[in-house]
């Protein structure tokens, strides 16, 4: 994790420092240290994404581009005109903050801004900042505890990253011809991490995602520090789950696109006389860079700009309106180009796609689930700040975002590409659209030291949060953060939550000796993001918009079902890779034309047997009637399994740890070996299988690390093998918080450790 952070931070910290200096000349070193990593990373994303967009990306060219960016940043920081009158406004403000200008040579607005900012810096609550920075640093914990993230999106990002490492573009890999249309900034920076650290693409996107969340939190603290509410910004973020849950679910680019809001908070929540041309340029640069990360961030930043304009036009000040017009002209031109690309290039490819809404209306229940507590405090804050210009801008910003979520109410509507594109862009927006706007409102209201602009000379703050209540909230947030990290430590032991099994990962090494095509399933566990360059996989993730000119996957799948060995020989596709999470293994296990070449905990590398002399296995599903002591649990991947030859259904028998149970068995004639495929939930104590009759060895210890496993036993007398029993070392299970209970993949939130029984595989003589 440290290596990944350093190869991103080192080339971006100086440009970030320069940009923070330009956008906020009043910032001291402490605030710059908070802003620089976030703003520098935003520029890094913009530069790297631009190179991919120009189809010239390579690690060497990116390194030269970053070197040039750093040279420009160094000059910007250190170059000062000797004539004070020829210095830019941010340079004058910087000088005023250090007392280098006399009152006679300083404008009243400049002096007032410097005075306010100096007061903010003197009144910083040191202990609250320490608490806030501690909470922000916990964003780095997960990559230190586990190798790969939870969720499924990261596998697609890893595939894009690997393709950029190998080819320098987003063309489709393996036996597929075509290309992905996806914002290139995130996977290209992840590819930079891969090239410099040597870790695989999956780890790179994981570590970059959590580093990005960390610097985003620092950036929000720094941006809100300009309003005297820096420490309270992080505490307010702690009242919601949105961005943290999205990061946990591996939605890294949509979280990274929030970096543009750091610039938005710095630029768009300030007095008109304090905003200059360089602020407008910085805003446009942020919009461009964010659009290359993920369009959601660009939409959120554009709506903040719209809110700023709506309230700015209401101010009866012609000079203010003139400044606002210049901002509107430049930003409108930029936004028009973005919408033009979306409408003319991307949207037509979605003509046959329906409006998408997997989690329902994002402005309804999902909003309450992930940001409900924060929303309640924000409602009180909105009332308290209703007489301030900044408060009204933030309230309108949230309202515009909430209205945008209405697109999910027309789920299933077809032939309107714009709505389809919007729904796919705003997927799961309840997690990432409302968190920052609501936290901004709460932080202003919570902080006792702000200088917000009154409207119509009404009181800025009719009431503030009482100190005892404030301290109670701080304690509750710290306790909540510690509990969240306790949950993260617990979940690190639950590899069964991963979209790939441990066996899938173990078999990757076996691919090194293969030269040709390998059949892989078209599911999350079938996408191999770290395949050797000489191996062509058949499946690819449908990330973003996929343009496919040709593919062999569908034809290869049909050839498997019909035992068409000629097809595989003609296409040099002599191997297949299956996961215990998938279904194609059941087809290959019962075919004489495929034999096992390598096996790891139920994951299998198969080799074609053209003569049909492969070993045929018999499969026997396990259901709840076979295990009386077991309870019924849903298979979290049930929606991704389209074949069920054993009649397993959507349920699996689950035996809690500490509960002894028996499995009823009916062995086939001439059984020689029985293999049990089971899934350990969490890290359990000792787990044992015993059979009083029928097996050559009556007592077996089974593996107990989390995830799928396959245990095989030699059969001595199949007719006598009617039952096996299970025993545990521990007398009771451990309790753990199951995130699948929140996502809907499972029905249990407070779960227990134990074992899920999957199926039996028999070999005969």
Q: What is the pLDDT of residues 132-147, one digit of tens each?
A: 999 999 999 999 999 9
pLDDT at 89: 60
pLDDT mean across residues, the chain? 87
Q: Does 61 score more than 80 pLDDT?
A: yes
690: domain CATH number is 2.60.120
- Same structural domain for residues 525 and 629? no
Is the separation of the CB atoms in 148 and 142 below 8 Å? no
The answer to the question of residue 186 being in a domain is no
Among 394, 103, 125, 451, smallest CA distance to 274 is for: 451
Q: pLDDT higher for 246 or 345?
A: 246
The answer to the question of residue 302 being in a domain is yes
Q: For the chain, what is the domain count?
A: 3
* Final residue before a domain boundary, out of 581, 614, 647: 614
pTM beyond cutoff 0.75: yes
* Final residue before a domain boundary, out of 463, 491, 519: 491
Is the separation of the CB atoms in 613 and 757 below 8 Å? no
Q: pLDDT category, 173, cuts 50, 70, 90?
A: very high
What's the average model confidence in pLDDT over 684-695? 92
For 333, residues 6+ apart whose C-beta sits below 8 A from its C-beta are none
pLDDT at 240: 93
pLDDT at 414: 72
What's the average model confidence in pLDDT over 532-538? 89
In angstroms, the CA 415 to CA 378 distance is 38
Q: Does 105 score more than 50 pLDDT?
A: no
- Same structural domain for residues 515 and 455? no
Please tell me the total number of residues recorded for the chain in this structure.
765
Domain boundaries, position 603: 502-614
- Same structural domain for residues 230 and 365? yes
- 231-269 residue pLDDT tens: 999 999 999 999 999 999 899 999 999 999 999 999 888
How would you classify the pairing of strands 177-181 and 516-520?
A: unpaired
- Same structural domain for residues 456 and 575? no
Taking the alpha carbons at both ends of the chain, their separation in whole angstroms is: 51
- Same structural domain for residues 635 and 555? no
Q: Report, in angstroms and rounded to the nearest whole number, the Rg of the chain calculated over CA atoms.
A: 29
Q: Does 632 score more than 50 pLDDT?
A: yes
Phi, psi of 734 (to 5 degrees): -85, 145
Share of the chain above pLDDT 90, in %: 53
- To the nearest 10°, the Cα dihedral for 21, 23, 29, 31? -160
What's the average model confidence in pLDDT over 349-365? 74
Phi, psi of 195 (to 5 degrees): -65, -40
Q: pLDDT category, 417, cuts 50, 70, 90?
A: confident
- Same structural domain for residues 375 and 302? yes
pLDDT at 104: 46
In angstroms, the CA 341 to CA 347 distance is 9
The answer to the question of residue 178 being in a domain is no
Q: Does 321 score more than 50 pLDDT?
A: yes
What's the average model confidence in pLDDT over 259-282? 81
pLDDT at 273: 61
Q: Does 358 score more than 80 pLDDT?
A: no
- Same structural domain for residues 109 and 243? yes
Share of the chain above pLDDT 70, in %: 88
- Same structural domain for residues 558 and 671? no
Q: pLDDT category, 84, cuts 50, 70, 90?
A: low
- Same structural domain for residues 226 and 278? yes
Among 292, 289, 313, 290, smallest CA distance to 300 is for: 290
In angstroms, the CA 535 to CA 605 distance is 14
Q: Does 314 score more than 80 pLDDT?
A: no
What's the average model confidence in pLDDT over 570-580? 93
Phi, psi of 552 (to 5 degrees): -105, -5
C-alpha distances (whole Å) from 603 to each of 509, 654, 702, 760 are 13, 21, 17, 15
Report the range of poorest mean pLDDT among 300-304, 633-637, 638-642. Answer: 638-642
- Same structural domain for residues 638 and 609? no
* Final residue before a domain boundary, out of 434, 457, 491: 491
- Same structural domain for residues 525 and 480? no
Q: pLDDT category, 343, cuts 50, 70, 90?
A: low
3-state SS class at 607: strand
Q: And the tokens for 489?
A: 């430590």
What's the average model confidence in pLDDT over 555-580? 93
Q: pLDDT higher for 7 or 644?
A: 7
pLDDT at 19: 92
What's the average model confidence in pLDDT over 337-348? 62
- Same structural domain for residues 365 and 276? yes
pLDDT at 326: 65
């Amino acid at each position: 994790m440290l290596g990944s952070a350093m190869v991103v931070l080192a080339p971006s910290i100086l440009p970030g420092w320069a940009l923070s200096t330009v956008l906020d000349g009043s910032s001291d070193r402490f605030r710059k240290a908070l802003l620089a990593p976030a703003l520098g990373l935003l520029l890094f994303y913009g530069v790297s994404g631009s190179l991919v967009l120009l189809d010239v990306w390579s690690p060497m060219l990116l390194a030269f581009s970053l070197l040039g960016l750093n040279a420009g940043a160094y000059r910007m920081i250190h170059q000062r005109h000797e004539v004070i009158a020829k210095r830019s406004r941010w340079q004058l403000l910087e000088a005023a903050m250090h007392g280098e200008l006399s009152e006679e040579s300083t404008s009243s607005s400049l002096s007032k801004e410097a005075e306010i900012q100096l007061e903010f810096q003197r009144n910083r609550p040191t202990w609250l900042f320490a608490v806030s920075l501690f909470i922000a640093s916990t964003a780095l914990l997960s990559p230190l505890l586990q190798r790969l993230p939870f969720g499924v999106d990261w596998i697609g990002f890893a595939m894009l990253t690997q393709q950029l490492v190998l080819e320098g573009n987003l063309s489709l890999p393996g036996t597929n011809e075509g290309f992905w249309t996806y914002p290139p900034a995130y996977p290209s920076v992840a590819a930079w991490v891969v090239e410099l650290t040597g870790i695989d693409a999956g780890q790179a996107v994981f570590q970059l995602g959590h580093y990005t969340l960390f610097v985003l939190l620092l950036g929000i603290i720094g941006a809100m520090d300009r309003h005297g509410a820096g420490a309270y910004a992080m505490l307010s973020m702690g009242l919601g789950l949105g961005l943290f849950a999205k990061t946990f679910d591996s939605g890294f680019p949509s979280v990274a696109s929030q970096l543009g809001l750091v610039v938005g908070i710095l630029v768009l929540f300030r007095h008109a006389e304090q905003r200059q041309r360089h602020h407008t340029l910085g805003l446009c640069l942020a919009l461009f860079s964010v659009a290359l990360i993920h369009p959601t961030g660009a939409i959120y930043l554009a709506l903040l700009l719209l809110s700023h304009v709506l309230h700015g036009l209401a101010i009866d000040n012609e000079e203010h309106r003139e400044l606002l017009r210049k901002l509107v002209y430049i930003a409108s031109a930029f936004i028009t180009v973005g919408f033009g690309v979306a409408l003319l290039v991307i949207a037509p490819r979605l003509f046959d796609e329906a409006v998408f809404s997997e989690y329902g209306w994002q402005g309804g229940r999902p909003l309450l689930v992930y940001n409900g507590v924060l929303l309640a405090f924000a409602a009180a804050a909105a009332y308290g700040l209703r007489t301030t210009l900044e408060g009204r801008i933030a309230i309108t910003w949230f309202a515009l975002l909430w209205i945008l979520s209405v697109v999910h109410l027309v789920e299933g509507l077809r032939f309107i590409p714009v709505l389809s594109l919007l729904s796919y862009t705003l997927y799961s927006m309840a997690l990432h659209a409302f968190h920052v706007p609501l936290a901004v409102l709460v932080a202003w209201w919570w902080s006792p030291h702000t200088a917000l602009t009154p409207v119509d000379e009404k009181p800025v703050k009719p009431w503030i949060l009482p100190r005892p209540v404030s301290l109670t909230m701080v304690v509750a947030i710290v306790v909540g953060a510690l509990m969240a990290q306790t949950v993260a430590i617990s979940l690190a032991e639950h590899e069964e939550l991963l979209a790939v099994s441990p066996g899938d990962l173990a078999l990757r090494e076996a691919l090194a000796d293969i030269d040709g095509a390998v059949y892989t399933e078209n599911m999350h566990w079938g996408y191999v993001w770290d395949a050797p360059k000489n191996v062509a996989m058949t499946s690819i993730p449908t990330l973003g918009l996929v343009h496919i000119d040709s593919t062999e996957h569908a034809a290869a799948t049909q050839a498997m079902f019909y035992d068409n060995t000629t097809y595989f020989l003609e296409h040099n596709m002599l191997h297949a890779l299956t996961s215990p999470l998938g279904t194609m293994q059941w087809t290959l296990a019962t075919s004489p034309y495929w034999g096992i070449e390598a096996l790891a905990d139920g994951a299998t590398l198969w080799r074609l047997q053209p003569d049909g002399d492969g070993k045929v296995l018999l499969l026997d599903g396990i259901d709840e009637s076979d295990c009386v002591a077991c309870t019924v649990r849903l298979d979290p991947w049930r929606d991704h399994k389209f074949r069920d030859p054993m009649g397993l259904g959507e349920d699996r028998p689950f035996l809690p740890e500490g509960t002894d149970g028996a499995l009823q068995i009916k062995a086939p004639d001439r059984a020689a070996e029985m293999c049990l495929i089971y899934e350990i939930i969490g890290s359990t104590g000792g787990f044992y299988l015993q059979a009083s009759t029928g097996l050559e060895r009556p007592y077996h210890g089974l593996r107990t690390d989390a995830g799928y496993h396959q245990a095989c036993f030699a059969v001595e007398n199949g007719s006598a093998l009617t039952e096996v029993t299970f025993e545990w070392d521990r007398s009771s299970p451990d309790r753990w918080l199951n995130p699948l209970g929140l996502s809907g993949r499972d029905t249990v939130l407070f779960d227990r450790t134990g074992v899920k029984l999957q199926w039996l595989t028999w070999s005969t003589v």
